[in-house]
Homo-oligomer: A and B are copies of this chain.
Amino acid sequence: MQTTIIHGPGDIRFEERPDPQIQSPSDAVVRVVRTCVCGSDLWPYRGVRPTPAPHPIGHEFIGIVEAVGAEVRNVRVGDFVISPFTDSDGTCVHCRNGITTSCVNFGVWGGTAKTGEPLDGAQGEYVRVPFADGTLVTVPESPDAELFPHLLTLADVMSTGHHAARSGNVQPGATVVVVGDGAVGLCAVLASKRLGAERIIAMSRHEDRQRLARAFGATDIVAERGDDGIAAIEELLGGIGADSVLECVGTKDSMHQALGAVRPGGYLGFVGVPAGAPELPMQQLFSTNIHVAGGIAPVRPYLAELLPDVLSGAIEPGRVFDLSLPLAQVADAYTAMDQRTAIKVLLEP
């Protein structure tokens, strides 16, 4: 098969690799129908995270099951499936607790499983999925192609935006601030709207993203950052912070901004992958009674809740894709995301 391999900063290649085979009776092999590039893929691409050796990359895909091992029960050959960006066995104590990202057999596509075995990347033609029953979710009836982008966001960005909103305790009628206007931040706006938030302030300084934020339900836009951004929010909200602030970036600055925008007793939901080791100041949390929760999104258990809304057309998170390319042009997709000429790039094998 052809699949995407990162060789180092700025060096993305679409290369021939052996077709994946069933190796364990709990495996499935999935033919990828759509995949995409994630903001976090840019970290090794930009050299922010090292790439000691070439490896497959990409962690978001939907596809059709091509083969299953003898013990697989929940998916069949021919099923149209969504894969969370991680695998999970579905049976360990953490999976049973709903934290599939802490599964004892956890692994991210393109990375390594806890056993040390390398996992296929999602930006390829095929992916071998260990623990298929605990990982894959079947889409009932084969969906129309126009649904593919929306379904693909459930693999990561929409589910992660939803995780921000759940972790940030977004309630009907709530005031919400979303920090970050990438695909995840935009999906967090949509998730907040879906959960009934009344006032949703998107922090963004890019016109195209502001437009999509409004389409997803943002009632206000704040372009200022840092303490100016915090002051602008307080003014919008009558002098106090928001009930819920959703942090979708992960830097020290964005975390400072997010924390400063929460009202006393409010909630900070964070899903931005921490960069530069930001820390939370205990004294500030102590004096304000702000709740903090979030992290890497346990996508699998959220799919039962989100999938019906995508299938019914109630939400259209796939609108975050503003560029579509053939998978073979994956390197161009990275360039577009890196240079911010696209919010998120859809790839078609």
Report the minimal beta-carbon distance from A158 to chain B, rounded to whole angstroms. 18
A288: interface (CB < 8 Å): yes
Report the minimal beta-carbon distance from A281 to chain B, rounded to whole angstroms. 6
In the complex, A280→B101 CA distance in Å?
20
A292: interface (CB < 8 Å): yes
Query: Interface residue tally of chain A, by bracket?
Result: 35 or more
0/1 interface trace, chain A 281-300, chain B, CB 8 Å (1 if under): 11101111111111110100
Contacts A279-B280, A288-B102 given: A97-B274 contact, CB under 8 Å? no
The answer to whether A265 and B98 touch across the interface, beta carbons within 8 angstroms, is yes
A255: interface (CB < 8 Å): yes
Question: Which residues of chain B are near A289, meaning CB under 8 Å?
Answer: 99, 101-102, 167, 293-296, 298
8 A–B pairs (Cβ distance < 8 Å), ordered by A: A167-B291, A279-B280, A280-B280, A280-B285, A286-B294, A286-B295, A289-B293, A291-B293
Question: Which residues of chain B are near A55, meaning CB under 8 Å?
Answer: none
Q: Of the candidates B97, B290, B291, B293, which one forms a contact with A263 in the assembled complex, judged by CB atoms under 8 Å apart? A: B97
Q: For the complex formed by this chain, how many copies does it contain in all? A: 2
A9: interface (CB < 8 Å): no
A residues lining the B interface (CB < 8 Å): 93-94, 97-99, 101-102, 167, 239-240, 255, 263-265, 270, 273-274, 277-283, 285-296, 298
Q: Of the candidates B93, B282, B293, which one forms a contact with A277 in the assembled complex, judged by CB atoms under 8 Å apart? A: B282
In the complex, A279→B279 CA distance in Å?
6
The answer to whether B264 and A282 touch across the interface, beta carbons within 8 angstroms, is no
Q: Of the candidates B277, B291, B298, which one forms a contact with A283 in the assembled complex, judged by CB atoms under 8 Å apart? A: B277
The answer to whether B286 and A270 touch across the interface, beta carbons within 8 angstroms, is yes
The answer to whether A281 and B282 touch across the interface, beta carbons within 8 angstroms, is no
In the complex, A294→B98 CA distance in Å?
23
The answer to whether A282 and B285 touch across the interface, beta carbons within 8 angstroms, is no
Q: A102-B287, A280-B292 are in contact. List 12 more A-B contacts (CB 8 A).
A: A97-B263, A97-B265, A101-B287, A101-B289, A102-B288, A277-B283, A279-B282, A285-B295, A291-B291, A291-B293, A292-B292, A292-B293
